[in-house]
């Protein structure tokens, strides 16, 4: 009569094969690597009724690293979700000096041969070195006896680890017995299932790591592209997650029911990192435009040179008149007056170029008057220039030299027309509601110097704002899995306003999710307090909060979130971590928490 297998499941329990199927389903569903490895070992111990076990993973440098250890009778639980580090050194598969295979160790031998090793009693084994095991037993009073060591082979027939079980026990008496020939195939099947599940999880983790690294690379590249936005794509995610955490932790109020699971947090993080990815399409000279006449370079230098030419022409004219017998004293007085006027006119143009003062109608009129000052050009301005500029100049016939020209002009070659019939911002399928300028760019000198506020023309302002359109278009084209489907919506809403006057879709509060509204506040607060923008001084904490309070009153930001931002202390926590010390001043949040009158 065949000997009864007392390591098998008890009578009345699910059959071994049914149990294997259940375990396989559980393994495939587990998302946490530590819990997955722990489940593998615990289920193998349960199937075989083993007292202990170890799970090793193969490293890139050909070693077996201890990942999970369990010995029930000694109450040993290390690795995995326990948080207790396994201090044993990894088992080398090859001798470091000779390169020979390490077949003296049972775990490394199983990994090298790809075969299971079933040892009834380690103390009787002549093939493997159990010196370390015996030393462990001496120190603990334990008796390591039966071993079942099974290689874990993935779908590509690569050994990715080893599952080792220790001291099978009779289910009725508790006596330590060898691992039976009936249980070994079940453990091998489990190890095979486990290897595939673990390999798949490792592949997914590697893909996720690659995706995360690529996204962070894009964010860093955008920040590096312009010193005006350095660090912005790194700080906005930090602030977004801080405010989102405050919303999740709210016990009452409008966010009491707001919650995020693990996938939601990841989705929001990805969206925050990519919220400005469309800026890769924005020309650097537009993003960095510090003066009205600046393009790739500041064209004020051209204007200054023309003034110099006019002054020389005035001096030459004066000298010629004196040589011809004119009244020298009178002519020199007139010249001095003329030169002083030119100096004053240039100073005005230079001041207007900075864009720091509002261009009232009378200032624009003076620009137009100065534009009519004449100077003489004697050289061909269509040679030695870029092909695209030459094409623009050739739209009009070249004048005969020498030619008298105005000091400032809006010329045909200053106009850059759109080459495409329809821009992305006009694509109704995305829901964009954007006013698109007729021209791509207008480099006209009078046109640019007449900009009422700041340094950007309507065309350049659109190009900068268009980054959010490009962000949405780029992200919508990516095949995001279901748990990341809302990345475009979260990333694309940070310039919308609660009253529907934002862009690019003119959404209002009801059209936007809470994460999208959170990101809008994070983006604004970071921009106000940023200390790495060469074109502006960083605002203090109190000044930034005050500006945002006005935005709340004007329904530009979510009022509930702004109050949470203050009440939760997120504004202060972020300030302590990200702002310069001289920016952090006292803020009386009660001033901004009162009901609007």
CB 291 within 8 A of CB 300: yes
What lies within 8 Å, CB to CB, of 505 at 6+ separation is 430, 431, 432, 433, 492, 496, 511
Q: How far apart are CA 565 and CA 518, in angstroms?
A: 9
pLDDT of residue 269: 95
Q: Tell me the DSSP string of 17-47.
A: HHHHHHHHHHHHH---HHHHHHHHHHHHHHH
Q: Tell me the DSSP string of 91-155.
A: EESB-TTT--B--SSHHHHHHHHT--EEES-GGG-SSS--HHHHHHHHHHT-----EEEEEEE-T
CB 349 within 8 A of CB 411: no
Is residue 13 very low, low, confident or very high in pLDDT (cuts 50, 70, 90)?
Answer: very low
CB 521 within 8 A of CB 493: no
Q: Mean per-residue pLDDT for 171-180?
A: 93
3-state SS, 453-520, equals CCCCCHHHHHHHHHHHHHHHHHHHCCCCCHHHCCHHHHHCCCCCCCECCCCCCCCEHHHCCHHHHHHH
pLDDT in tens, 60-102: 999 999 999 999 999 999 998 888 999 999 999 999 889 999 9
CB 149 within 8 A of CB 113: no
Q: How far apart are CA 257 and CA 261, in angstroms?
A: 13
Domain 230-280+461-593: assigned CATH number = 1.10.3210.10
Longest dimension (CA), the chain: 141
- In 227-381, the DSSP E strands lie at 374-377
In the block, tokens 């001496």 appear at 138
Is the pLDDT at 3 greater than 50? The verdict is no
Rg (CA), the chain: 37
Q: Which residue from 10, 76, 41, 54 is spatially nearest to 147, judged by alpha carbons? A: 54
Q: How far apart are CA 421 and CA 419, in angstroms?
A: 7
What lies within 8 Å, CB to CB, of 518 at 6+ separation is 240, 243, 244, 247, 561
Q: Mean per-residue pLDDT for 295-312?
A: 95
Terminal-residue alpha carbon distance, the chain: 93
Helix-helix angle 232-249:570-578, to 10 degrees: 150
pLDDT in tens, 583-595: 999 999 999 986 5
pLDDT of residue 149: 95
pLDDT in tens, 102-118: 999 999 999 999 999 99
List the structure tokens of 346.
């240039």
CB 335 within 8 A of CB 314: yes
pLDDT in tens, 534-577: 666 789 999 999 999 999 999 999 999 999 999 999 999 999 99
pLDDT of residue 352: 96
φ/ψ of 436, rounded to 5, equals -105, 125
Question: Is residue 261 classed as helix, strand or coil in its secondary structure?
Answer: coil
pLDDT of residue 597: 43
Q: Mean per-residue pLDDT for 331-360?
A: 95
pLDDT of residue 11: 43
Q: How far apart are CA 237 and CA 277, in angstroms?
A: 13
Q: Which residue from 38, 153, 162, 60 is spatially nearest to 107, judged by alpha carbons? A: 162
Q: Which residue from 531, 538, 359 is spatially nearest to 451, judged by alpha carbons? A: 359
Segment among 231-235, 239-243, 477-481 with least mean pLDDT: 231-235
Is residue 411 very low, low, confident or very high in pLDDT (cuts 50, 70, 90)?
Answer: very high
Domain residue extents for the chain:
16-204, 230-280+461-593, 300-416
pLDDT in tens, 17-48: 677 677 766 666 666 778 877 888 888 898 89
Q: Which residue from 121, 117, 110 is spatially nearest to 178, judged by alpha carbons? A: 121
CB 518 within 8 A of CB 561: yes
pLDDT in tens, 138-168: 999 999 999 999 998 888 888 989 999 999 9
Q: Mean per-residue pLDDT for 185-207?
A: 83
The three-point CA angle 224-209-265 to 5° equals: 85
Buried b (16+ CB within 10 A) or exposed e, 150-162: bbbbbeeeebbbb
CB 473 within 8 A of CB 430: yes
Is the pLDDT at 308 greater than 90? The verdict is yes
Q: Which fold has domain 16-204?
A: Beta-Lactamase (3.30.450)
Assessment of whether the complete model's pTM goes beyond 0.85: no
Q: Which residue from 571, 518, 509, 503 is spatially nearest to 542, judged by alpha carbons? A: 571
């Amino acid at each position: 009569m065949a000997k009864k297998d007392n390591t098998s499941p008890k009578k009345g329990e699910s059959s071994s094969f049914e149990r294997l199927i259940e375990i396989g389903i559980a393994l495939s569903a587990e998302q946490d690597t530590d819990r997955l490895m722990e489940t593998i070992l615990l289920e193998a111990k349960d199937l075989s009724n083993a007292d202990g076990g170890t799970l090793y993973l193969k490293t890139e440098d050909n070693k077996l690293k201890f990942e999970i250890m369990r010995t029930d009778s000694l109450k040993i639980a290390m690795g995995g979700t326990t948080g207790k580090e396994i201090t044993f050194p990894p088992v080398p598969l090859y001798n470091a000096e000779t390169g020979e295979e390490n077949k003296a160790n049972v775990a490394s031998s199983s990994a090298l041969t790809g075969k299971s090793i079933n040892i009834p009693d380690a103390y009787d084994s002549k093939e493997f070195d159990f010196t370390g095991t015996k030393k462990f037993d001496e120190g603990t009073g334990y008796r390591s006896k039966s071993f079942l060591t099974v290689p874990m082979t993935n779908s590509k027939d690569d050994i990715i680890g080893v599952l080792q079980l220790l001291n099978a026990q009779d289910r009725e008496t508790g006596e330590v017995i060898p691992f039976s020939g009936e249980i070994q195939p079940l453990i091998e099947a489990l190890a095979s299932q486990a290897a595939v599940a673990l390999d798949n999880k490792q592949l997914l983790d590697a893909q996720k790591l690659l995706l995360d690294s690529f996204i962070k690379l894009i964010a860093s590249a955008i920040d590096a592209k312009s010193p005006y936005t350095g660090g912005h794509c790194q700080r906005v995610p930090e602030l977004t997650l801080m405010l989102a955490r405050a919303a999740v932790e709210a016990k009452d109020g409008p966010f009491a029911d707001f919650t995020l699971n693990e996938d939601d947090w990841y989705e929001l993080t990805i969206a925050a990192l990519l919220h400005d990815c469309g800026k890769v399409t924005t020309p650097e000279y537009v993003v960095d435009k510090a003066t009205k006449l600046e393009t790739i370079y500041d064209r004020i230098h051209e204007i200054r040179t023309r003034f110099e030419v006019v002054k020389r022409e005035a001096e030459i004219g004066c000298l010629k008149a004196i040589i011809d017998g004119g009244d020298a004293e009178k002519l020199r007085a007139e010249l001095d007056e003329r030169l002083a006027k030119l100096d004053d006119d240039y100073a005005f143009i230079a001041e207007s170029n900075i864009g720091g003062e509002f261009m009232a109608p009378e200032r624009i009129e003076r620009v137009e008057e100065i534009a009519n000052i004449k100077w003489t050009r004697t050289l061909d301005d269509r040679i030695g220039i870029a092909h695209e500029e030459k094409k623009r100049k050739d739209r009009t016939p070249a004048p005969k030299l020498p030619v008298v020209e105005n000091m400032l002009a809006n010329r045909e070659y200053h106009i850059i027309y759109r080459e495409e019939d329809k821009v992305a911002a006009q694509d109704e399928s995305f829901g964009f509601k954007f006013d698109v300028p007729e021209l791509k760019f207008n480099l006209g000198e009078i046109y640019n110097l007449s900009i009422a506020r700041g340094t950007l023309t309507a065309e350049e302002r659109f190009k900068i704002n268009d980054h959010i359109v490009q962000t949405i278009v780029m992200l919508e084209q990516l095949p995001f899995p279901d748990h990341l489907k809302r990345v475009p919506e979260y990333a694309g809403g940070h310039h919308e306003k609660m009253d529907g006057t934002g862009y690019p879709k003119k959404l209002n509060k009801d059209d936007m999710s809470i994460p999208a509204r959170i990101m809008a506040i994070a983006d604004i607060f970071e921009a106000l307090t940023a200390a790495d923008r060469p074109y502006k001084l960083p605002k203090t904490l109190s000044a930034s909060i005050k500006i945002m309070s006005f935005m709340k009153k004007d329904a530009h930001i979510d009022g509930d979130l702004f109050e949470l931002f203050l009440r939760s202390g997120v504004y202060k926590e972020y300030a302590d971590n990200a702002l310069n010390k001289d920016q952090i001043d006292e803020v009386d949040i009660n001033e901004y928490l009162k009901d609007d009158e």
